[in-house]
Amino acid sequence: MSSDNGLPRDSEIDESAVIIIVGAGVAGSALAYTLGKDGRRVKVIERDLTEPDRIVGELLQPGGYLKLMELGLEDCVNEIDAQHVFGYALFKDGKSTKLSYPLQHFESDVAGRSFHNGRFIPRMREKASTLPESFPILFYPISSTETRCLVDVPGQKVHSISNGEMSHFLKTVVAPQIPHELYNAFISAIDNGNIRTMPNRSMPAAPSPTPGALLMGDGFNMRHPLTGRGMTVALSDIVVLRDLLRPLQDLNDASALCSYLESFYTLRKPTASTINTLAGALYKVFSGSSDPAGREMRQACFDYLSLGGIFSNGPIALLYGMNPRPLKLILHFFAVAIYGVGLLLPFPSFKRLLLGARLISGASSIIFPMFKAEGVRQVFFPATIPAYYRVPPVNQ
């Protein structure tokens, strides 16, 4: 039994650190769930996962139930025939008295609970082992009767399809995130075995001028498939290359042609790099993270786009290749971060100010390294690159 919840690289929590909990009793299971929910990577080791048969740990006082609620584990006493306990009855020498818990100022559900320990422990373990992980999920129709669902699963190891691990993972971890309108179809597709996996990776374009050859497509430049922009970049590259080749009648001089086509790598940059950076930035924002700044950034992005008008039209134009300008991408990306800082008001406590600073810092650490990898000069100042002014070779 294990819970392994990764964090983005920009999180304050060291993503390489793993907390190992030995023993999955009440304390171990509760700690695993709590730390996992906070974004920690947790491993739980338990020698025996069979239902315990004990006569201790069967009475949970109201104070303990309040802590169970505080930890988000109160549903662990459901469906185990747990009994409400409201106090004690004392008997002595034929006389009796009742000592009730003073619960009048609490919610009606607050009381003690008594139950079989062997039924309570498995519920706690189940809660710890099925802690929800958040993954970007994309749905789009591919015909009049079919819809494709892409689920991004981070990590190097992929669950096996043949032994049912992937089906179990999709049903227990991914399905709870699916909108209810699509849930039944999602489960049906899993049951029908319509599951395939493929790796995805990002690869900034690295110019490699070679006489007689020009590398294009996914072999040249890849970005995260979350936004579905690969073909847009490829087709945009084709338009650039077509315009460069149109004036040429003779393609036999490979060396002169290679020198001339170096301008291709510069002319494509503003469009391709905007698309690549946006794809990577959105993936980082919407990938699961329990880091407070990460949660605030996701919420700010959702709320910003929900404002409509220029707040949604601009990002959507960038997203779908209708207006791929790098400066506009930076403008909207930081507008989201600043909007997120505004959501922390009207009570600017030190903690909120610190979170706001981390939100801005997080936005910077996401987008600027991506533009750096693409080439700042090529993206923002292409006219300063000598290859930008290459002219077609003169036919001899």
Cβ(308)–Cβ(154) under 8 Å? no
Say what the alpha-carbon torsion angle 345, 348, 352, 353 is, to the nearest 10 degrees.
110
| Mean pLDDT, range 28-39, rounded to an integer | 85
DSSP 8-state assignment for residue 95:
E
pLDDT tier, 347 (very low <50, low <70, confident <90, very high otherwise): low
Q: Which residues of 33-42 are buried (b: 16+ CB within 10 A; e: fewer)?
A: bbbbbebbbb
CA angle 262, 264, 265 (to 5 degrees): 75
Express each pLDDT in 375-392 by its tens digit: 888 888 888 888 888 888
What type of residue sits at position 36?
Answer: G
Give one DSSP letter per residue of 320-373, joined into a string.
TTSS--HHHHHHHHHHHHHHHHHTTTT---HHHHHHHHHHHHHHHHHHHHHHHH
Express each pLDDT in 128-138 by its tens digit: 876 656 778 88
| Mean pLDDT, range 343-355, rounded to an integer | 70
Q: Which residues contact 171 (CB under 8 A, 6 or more apart)?
A: 187, 190
pTM: 0.65
The Cα 73–Cα 66 span in angstroms is 10
* CA atoms in the 13 A half-sphere facing the CB of 3: 31
